[in-house]
Amino acid sequence: MSSAQPSTEYEKYYVPESSSLAVRATIGLVLTVFGGGLVLNEMTFGGTHDTGGMAKYVMYVGLAIFIATLTYWFRTAIKENKAGMNSSQLSNSYVLGMFWFIFSEVMFFAAFFGALLYVRTLAGPWLAGEGDGGRMNFLLWEGFEYTWPPVITPQEVVGGALSQPIANNGEFVSQHTSMAFADAHHWYAWLPLWNTIILLTSSVTCEFAHRGLAKGDIKRFEAWLAVTVGLAIIFLFLQAAEYYEAYELFGLTLNSGIYGSTFFMLTGFHGFHVAMGMTMLLIQLIRSVRNKHLTPTDHFGFSASSWYWHFVDVVWVFLFIFVYII
């Protein structure tokens, strides 16, 4: 396999000569997490971990550097593309990069869904004394009965944090009303249903926008994209309303035991991803309206954002099924 000779036709693959972007982004990222770590330790452990409030400024400065660098990085990539430096092969690298990035995000959510399903099918019943796994129930959590959504935590069953037989790691107080449909007073007051409709619709409007762009109908593209972004904002607004409801009216918090833990982690990370996807789509809209950047044949930024959007939508469908319905 050692016979090698230059091929005749080849579109040069653009390799940027050198770049300070990575080092700048590193500085931003490291300051962010180091400052964030200080903030958390100050909050939880206090005492000698107190930085007098300085920690959060380290985090803010890091975050500012990080966001500024990423913004500049994307601008650079867009400029290079507009300057005609991207061969079709390089564009394909971007496509592969985005695809595998979304795959990694799928696996991140898989960890949390896995946790939810493990607790619901195995750990929960075992805690209540079922099967081989339940043989310690009478020693540790006597009287605990498992339901989903849980109505009481094992700790509450034995009389609270102080009478807990094994190490005490905080108070877990169950919510009095869950997010399940059974606890909703009226179907039309059940926010997750509305959020499902909104998000599914937004995937369709996103696809309309894509088709408009493919046909070269920029006006139609921008209109549908604006509708999609609008739906995303409504979704986030309703999600915020739901969190308010949970904390203020239902007693459902991060400290409500495993139901609150899984509920807020899954919906919270999903909401964060919706916000990211919304930002990505909004930037595509601005690029189109202001800079006329997107053309029927050259719109990777929009394509990538739309794939991301569909991914967020699919995650929600699973969330709706496993967190809210079943």
Partner 1 sequence: MGDHHHGPAKGLSRWLYTTNHKDIGTMYLWFSFAMFLLGGAFAMIIRAELFQPGMQLVEPGFFNQMTTLHGLIMVFGAIMPSFVGLANWLIPMMIGAPDMALPRMNNWSFWILPPAFLMLASTLLMEGGAPAFGWTFYAPLSTTYAPPSVTFFIFAIHILGVSSIMGSINIIATVMNMRAPGMSYMKMPLFVWTWLITAFLLVAVMPVLAGAVTMMLMDIHFGTSFFSAAGGGDPVLFQHIFWFFGHPEVYIIILPAFGVISQIIPAFSRKPLFGYASMVYATAAIAFLSFIVWAHHMYTVGMPLAGELFFMYATMLIAVPTGVKVFNWVTTMWRGAMTFETPMLFSIGFLVLFTIGGFTGLMLSIAPADFQYHDTYFVVAHFHYVMVAGAVFSMTAAIYFWLPKWTGRMYNETMGKVHFWVSFIGFNITFFPQHFVGLAGMPRRIPDYALQFADFNMMSSIGAFIYGASQLLFLYNVIAAITSGKRVTDEKIWDGAEGLEWTLPSPPPYHTFEVPPTIEEQPAH
Q: Which residues in 105-124 contact partner 1 (CB under 8 A)?
A: 105, 107-108, 110-112, 114-115, 118-119, 123-124
What is the C-alpha separation between 270 and 108, in angstroms, rounded? 11
Instruction: Name the DSSP letter for residue 162.
Output: G
Q: Closer CB to partner 1, residue 227 or residue 254?
A: 254
Residues 257-276 as x/- pattern, contact with partner 1 by CB under 8 A: xxxxxx-xx-----------
C-beta of 102: minimal distance to partner 1 in Å? 10
Q: Are 234 and 280 in contact (CB under 8 A)?
A: no
C-beta of 134: minimal distance to partner 1 in Å? 10
Residue type, 130: E
Residues of span 134-153 touching partner 1 by CB under 8 A:
140-141, 150, 153
Q: Closer CB to partner 1, residue 204 or residue 265?
A: 265
Residues 162-201 as x/- pattern, contact with partner 1 by CB under 8 A: --x-xxxxxxx-----------------------------
- The reply on whether position 10 binds partner 1 by CB under 8 A is yes
Q: Are 137 and 129 in contact (CB under 8 A)?
A: yes
C-beta of 188: minimal distance to partner 1 in Å? 31
C-beta of 302: minimal distance to partner 1 in Å? 20
Q: Are 281 and 232 in contact (CB under 8 A)?
A: yes
Residues of span 87-106 touching partner 1 by CB under 8 A:
89-90, 92-94, 96-97, 100-101, 103-105
* Burial status of residue 275 (CB atoms within 10 A of its CB: 0-12, 13-18, 19 or more): middle
What is the C-alpha separation between 78 and 84, in angstroms, rounded? 10
Q: Are 141 and 157 in contact (CB under 8 A)?
A: yes
Residues 66-85 as x/- pattern, contact with partner 1 by CB under 8 A: -------x-----------x
Q: Closer CB to partner 1, residue 17 or residue 248?
A: 17
User: Which of 98, 10, 100 lies closest to 299, judged by CA?
Assistant: 98
Is the bond leading into 125 cis (omega within 30 degrees of zero)? Answer: no
Q: Which of 236, 254, 289, 314 binds partner 1 (CB under 8 A)?
A: 254
Q: Closer CB to partner 1, residue 36 or residue 230?
A: 36
Distances in Å between the alpha carbon of 224 and those of 22, 43, 211? 35, 44, 10
* Burial status of residue 179 (CB atoms within 10 A of its CB: 0-12, 13-18, 19 or more): buried
Q: Closer CB to partner 1, residue 12 or residue 186?
A: 12
